[in-house]
Amino acid sequence: MNVIRFSDLCASGQVRGKRVFIRADLNVPQDDHGAITEDTRIRASVPCIQMALDAGAAVMVTSHLGRPTEGAFKPEDSLMPVAKRLGELLGREVPLVANWVNSDDSASVTPIQVASGQLVMLENCRVNVGEKKNTPELARKLAALCDIFVNDAFGTAHRAEGTTYGIAQFAPIACAGPLLSAEIDAIQKALAHPKRPLAAIVAGSKVSTKLTILKTLADKVDQLIVGGGIANTFMLAAGLKIGKSLAEPDLVLEAKAVIAAMKARGAEVPIHTDVVCAKTFAADTPATVKKATEVADDDLILDIGPETAAKLAEQLKAAGTIVWNGPVGVFEFAAFENGTKAIAHAIANSSAFSIAGGGDTLAAIAKYGIEKQVGYISTGGGAFLEVLEGKTLPAFEILTKRSAG
C-alpha cells in the first residue's frame, strides 16, 4: 500500500512554513463532569503533533468527541479538556478555536491564525454541518485551510467523513501520520505478507457480528481459533451439546461451512475438548471443568478448559504470525479468566509477529501486562474489524489514490 508519509515530508524539509491540518483521534472517555478518565489516544497523538512542530509547520489539529449534533454545539461537545491535557503533555498552551468553518453556503473560508512553530486545536469536527455525510462543500472549505493534510486517526479510517476523506480529496498534499503509517505497516505484515503459520483468534458473543471476518480468514489462515459465544456455535456445528450457553443455532450451517473451507485447505478450526462451566452467570458462581462431551443441559460455558488452553497455547507458540481479536472466555470473572490468560501469555512468549485489536482484547492485554510483548496493538476498534473482513478502508483508499498523483 503506497501512501505519502508525513515523516518523509518532514525529513525532506517540505513541511517548514506550511499550514498542516492533522486529523487525530482524540475521542477519549470522560466522566459525568467531563473529566478525562483515560488519555491513551491523546498520548498516542503527541508524536505526530510534535513532529509537525519540530519541522516548523503552522499546526492545526482536530478530532471528534462523543456524538454531537451537527450545527448544534453544546458545552459537553467541547474539546477543551482534550486541549488542556494535550497542553500538559506537550508542555505548552494549546489554544482552542471555535467556529472554524464558515456556516454559510459560500465557498470562502476565514484563514485560521497560526504561525509557524505554533499549534491550535480546532473544536469538535463533528459539529460542522456536512461532516458525517462528507459534503463536497465542507470538504473544499476544510482543504482550503491547509497546505498539507495529515490523517493520523486509524480509529476513524473506516469512515468516509469530511475530516477523514473529503479534505484528503482536495488538500494540496494528503498523507499518513506516524500512527496511521504504523497501522498500515502492521496490517500489511500480518495479513498481506504473513510469516506462516498464520493463526487468528476471533472471539466474541455472536457469530453473526463476525461472520464476514470468519469467512474471510478461513481463506487465509492456518489456524482459526474461535472463543466466547462464537465457539459455542462451532461446538454445535461439531455435534456437541452446549447446555444453555450463549449461541446462535441458526448459524450452525455457516459455522460448518467455515470448518469445511479450512479443512479443504489443510487448515483447521480447533474445537474445544474441555470447557469451564457454571450454572449461573455471576462472578462468584462455582466453576467446574468438564470434557466438551459432558456438558449438562443446565450448564453455561464461560471459558475454555485447561486441556484446550494448553493445546491452543502450543499452536500459538509455533505460529509465525498471530492476529488476536477477542478474549476466549469471561475474563472479567476470576474463575473464568484462565483461558484468556493462557492465550495472552502464549502470545507474549511466542516469537511470532502479533497484532491485536478490539476493545475487550486491549483490556485483556492490559490486565495481563503483555503490552510490550505484542508486536502491534491496534487502537482502531471498528476499523480493525473491517480490515479483518477484507475491506479497503476509505482513509487508505483516498491516501493511496492521492499518492499516485
Over residues 119-175, the pLDDT tens digits come to: 999 999 999 999 999 999 999 999 999 999 999 999 999 999 999 999 999 999 999
Q: Give catalytic status of residue 41 as yes or no.
A: yes
The catalytic position among 5, 18, 23, 41 is: 41
Together in a domain, 172 and 205: no
Residue 33 shares a structural domain with residue 146: yes
% of the chain surpassing 90 pLDDT: 90
Note the pLDDT tens digit of each residue in 81-103. 999 999 999 999 999 999 999 76
Q: For CA atoms 396, 400, 403, 405, give the dihedral sign.
A: negative
Are residue 19 and residue 158 in the same domain, yes or no? yes
Assess whether 38 and 122 both reside in one domain: yes
Q: Residue 370: inside a domain, yes or no?
A: no
Q: In the chain, how many domains are there?
A: 2
Domain with residue 80: its CATH number is 3.40.50.1260
By three-state DSSP, how is residue 186 classified?
Answer: helix
Q: For the sheet containing 353-356, what is the strand order?
A: 223-227, 198-204, 321-325, 353-356, 376-377
Split at pLDDT 50, 70, 90, the class of 381 is confident
Q: Does 206 lie in the same domain as 166?
A: no
For 50-86, the pLDDT digits (tens) are 999 999 999 999 999 999 999 999 999 999 999 999 9
Residue 18 domain-assigned (yes or no): yes
Q: 202 and 334 share a domain?
A: yes
Do residues 314 and 339 both lie within one domain?
Answer: yes
Side chain identity at 29, as an amino acid letter? P
pTM: 0.88
Instruction: Check 66, 320, 375, 382 and give the catalytic one.
Output: 382
Strand order in the sheet with 274-278: 288-291, 274-278, 300-304
C-alpha 182/C-alpha 376 separation (Å) is: 9
379 pLDDT tier (thresholds 50, 70, 90): confident
Of 247, 336, 241, whose CA–CA distance to 294 is shortest?
A: 241
**70-120-47-395 Cα dihedral, nearest 10 degrees:** 30
- Are residues 113 and 75 part of one domain? yes
Annotated catalytic residue: which of 206, 215, 220, 256?
A: 206
Based on the residue annotation, tell me whether 359 is a catalytic residue of this protein. yes
User: Is 378 contained in some domain?
Assistant: no
Q: Which of 13, 34, 359, 369 is catalytic?
A: 359
Query: Which residues span the domain enclosing 12?
Result: 6-179+392-403
Return the number of other C-beta atoms located less than 10 Å from residue 260's C-beta.
Answer: 13
Beta-ladder partners of 301 = 277
Q: Given CA atoms 118, 20, 144, 44 in this order, what sign does their dihedral have?
A: negative
Give the SS3 label for residue 290. Answer: strand
Residues 342 and 261 reside in one and the same domain: yes
Q: Which alpha helices (DSSP H) does 39-177 contain, by range? A: 40-54, 80-90, 136-143, 167-170
Residue 104 has pLDDT above 70, yes or no: no
In a domain, 188, yes or no: no
Residue 23 lies in a domain: yes
